[in-house]
Structure 1
Amino acid sequence: MTALQFPCTLFKTQNRMDDYSAKDMRCGDLTAEQLKSNYGLVDISTRANPYTLTKVTPFTQPQSMFYGSRGEGEKISRTQCANILFDELRDLSRLFSVYGPYKHLIKRMITHMQNGNGKPFSSMHLDNALKMHIVNEKTENSTLSKIKYALNENINWKAGIYPVKDKNEFRKAILEGKLPKFDRFQDNFNGMGITVHDTWATEITIKNLQIDNNHYQAVLHYKVQDHFGLDVNDISKFRFNQFRFFRIWFVLQRYDKFNFKPFMTNMETTIEITGVRN
Structure 2
Amino acid sequence: MAALQFPSTLFKTQKWMDDYSASDMRCGDLTEAQLKSHYRLDYISDRVDPYTLTRRSSMDRPQSMFCCNLRSQGEKITRQQCAIILFDEFRSLSRKFSLYGPYSHLIEKMITHMQNGNGTPFRDVSLDRALKDHILNDSTKNSTVLRIRDTLKKYIIWEDKKYPKNYKDELRKNILEGKLPKFDRFQDNFNGMGITVHDTWATHITMKSLHVDNDRFQAVVHFKVQDHFGLDNDDILKTKFSQFHFFRIWFVLQRYNQFGFKPFLTNMETTVEITGGRNDSKK
Q: In 1, distance between residues paired with 2:164 and 2:217?
A: 14
Contact 1:211 1:217 in 2 (8 A): yes
Other structure's SS at 1:165 match? helix
Other structure's SS at 1:265 match? strand
Query: What are the equivalent positions in structure 2 for 1:58-207 lying under 5 Å apart?
Result: 58-63=58-63, 71-207=72-208
Task: State the Cα distance separating 1:169 from its structure 2 match.
Answer: 0.5
Q: In 1, distance between residues paired with 2:59 and 2:211?
A: 71
Opposite residue 273 of structure 1, the aligned amino acid is I
Q: In 1, distance between residues paired with 2:262 and 2:70?
A: 35
Contact 1:97 1:190 in 2 (8 A): yes
TM-score, normalization by structure 2: 0.95
Contact 2:115 2:261 in 1 (8 A): yes
Contact 1:205 1:222 in 2 (8 A): yes
The one-character-per-residue Cα deviations of 1:14-40 (angstroms, maximum 9, x if unpaired) are 001000000000000000000000011
Indicate the percent of aligned positions where both proteins have the same amino acid.
67
Contact 1:252 1:260 in 2 (8 A): yes
TM-score, normalization by structure 1: 0.97
1:16 is aligned to 16
Opposite residue 102 of structure 1, the aligned amino acid is Y
Opposite residue 51 of structure 1, the aligned amino acid is Y
The one-character-per-residue Cα deviations of 1:125-179 (angstroms, maximum 9, x if unpaired) are 0000000000000111100011011101110111111011111000100011000
Q: In 1, distance between residues paired with 2:237 and 2:95?
A: 23
Other structure's SS at 2:58 match? coil
Other structure's SS at 2:128 match? helix
Q: In 1, distance between residues paired with 2:3 and 2:172?
A: 17
Give the CA RMSD over aligned residues.
Answer: 1.3
Q: In 2, distance between residues paired with 1:36 and 1:245?
A: 17
Task: Please identify runs of 4+ aligned residues in structure 1 that moved more than 2 A.
Answer: 58-64
Q: In 1, distance between residues paired with 2:198 and 2:274?
A: 26
1:249 is aligned to 250
2:6 is aligned to 6
Opposite residue 251 of structure 2, the aligned amino acid is F
Opposite residue 215 of structure 2, the aligned amino acid is N
Other structure's SS at 1:145 match? helix
Opposite residue 204 of structure 2, the aligned amino acid is E
Other structure's SS at 1:39 match? coil
Contact 1:59 1:68 in 2 (8 A): no
Other structure's SS at 1:158 match? coil
Opposite residue 275 of structure 1, the aligned amino acid is G
**Structure 2: segments with no counterpart, 5+ residues:** none
Q: In 1, distance between residues paired with 2:24 and 2:130?
A: 23
Task: State the Cα distance separating 1:68 from its structure 2 match.
Answer: 6.2
Contact 1:89 1:245 in 2 (8 A): yes
Q: In 2, distance between residues paired with 1:83 and 1:127?
A: 29
Contact 2:46 2:58 in 1 (8 A): no
The one-character-per-residue Cα deviations of 1:162-204 (angstroms, maximum 9, x if unpaired) are 0111110001000110000000000000000000000000000
1:29 is aligned to 29
Q: In 2, distance between residues paired with 1:135 and 1:60?
A: 50
Other structure's SS at 1:167 match? helix
Other structure's SS at 2:38 match? helix
Query: What are the equivalent positions in structure 2 for 1:208-227 lying under 5 Å apart?
Result: 208-227=209-228
